[in-house]
Amino acid sequence: MSIRGYIYHILMLLTVITSSCIQGGGVSSSSGAGYPDPARYEVRGLDISAHNGEIDFERVKAQGFDFVVAKATEGATFRDRRFVDNIRRARKAGLRVGAYHFFRFDTPGYMQGLNFAAAVEGRDLDIPLVIDLEEWTNPTAQATPLVINRLTEMLDHLEQRGYKVMLYTNKNGYNRFLRSLPRSYPLWICSLGEEPQLSGWTLWQATHSGRVDGVDHPVDINAFAGSLSEWEAFLAR
């Protein structure tokens, strides 16, 4: 979900996966629009940022995808330049839409909450706001308790403003940061090429290298844990 760009493409050509989702599992050779298997997962969607370029959301919708989560912000000041256009055009195509924020370990949580809330204010979103919590590209010197405190600050700020929140991470991030949180949130788990071993997940990010008609670059493909009716119930909470 974080910045990959051309570096990502080079690494993929070298078959070296360096993203935050390295967990010791293999990566499925099936990374097209049919993965994760739509026969097993009724509800599937993409997460995107400006690095995916201009997307034809009508073509994405035509392939059976149900939702798009677009990057909105990062840290205290960064705004994704395509966020507003992405969610506007995805909704126009009939997709459910959401927004995510890439969490910086070295930035106070309330400042990150201010940035995210300002970017999504007044936007018509279906999916809870997502905080992307991962070690990849974050400074390694930040102590775990400090990161958790900053995350809690951000959660408090968003919830005080009436927003529902979902947390995205991988297995390592879950064990390091989320196990000790005093509150529980819907979990979006990254597990490349294999179904998550953690129980209770809501969304599963299954691949970073999906090939989807309408998206010029490899894209993240995700699946919802339940049925279409359960998906609608989740969005209505």
pLDDT (average), residues 51-76: 98
pTM: 0.88
pLDDT over 60 (residue 2): no
Backbone angles phi, psi at 147, to 5 degrees: -60, -45
Tell me, what's the pLDDT at 31? 65
Tell me, what's the pLDDT at 1? 66
The residue assigned the tokens 């490899």 is 218
pLDDT (average), residues 72-97: 98
Percent above pLDDT 70 for the chain: 87
Percent above pLDDT 90 for the chain: 82
Band of the pLDDT at 85, cuts 50, 70, 90? Answer: very high
Tell me, what's the pLDDT at 148? 97
Spatial separation of the C-alpha atoms in residues 217 and 53, rounded to whole Å: 8
Spatial separation of the C-alpha atoms in residues 34 and 237, rounded to whole Å: 29
pLDDT over 90 (residue 92): yes
Band of the pLDDT at 73, cuts 50, 70, 90? Answer: very high
Q: Are 131 and 99 in contact (CB under 8 A)?
A: no
Spatial separation of the C-alpha atoms in residues 47 and 57, rounded to whole Å: 12
pLDDT over 50 (residue 7): no
Band of the pLDDT at 32, cuts 50, 70, 90? Answer: confident
- Cβ neighbors of 140 (< 8 A, separation 6 or more) are none
pLDDT, tens digit, 9 for 90 and up, residues 97-139: 999 999 999 999 999 999 999 999 999 999 999 999 999 999 9
pLDDT over 90 (residue 10): no
Band of the pLDDT at 11, cuts 50, 70, 90? Answer: very low
Spatial separation of the C-alpha atoms in residues 94 and 68, rounded to whole Å: 10
Q: Are 80 and 99 in contact (CB under 8 A)?
A: no
Spatial separation of the C-alpha atoms in residues 162 and 171, rounded to whole Å: 28
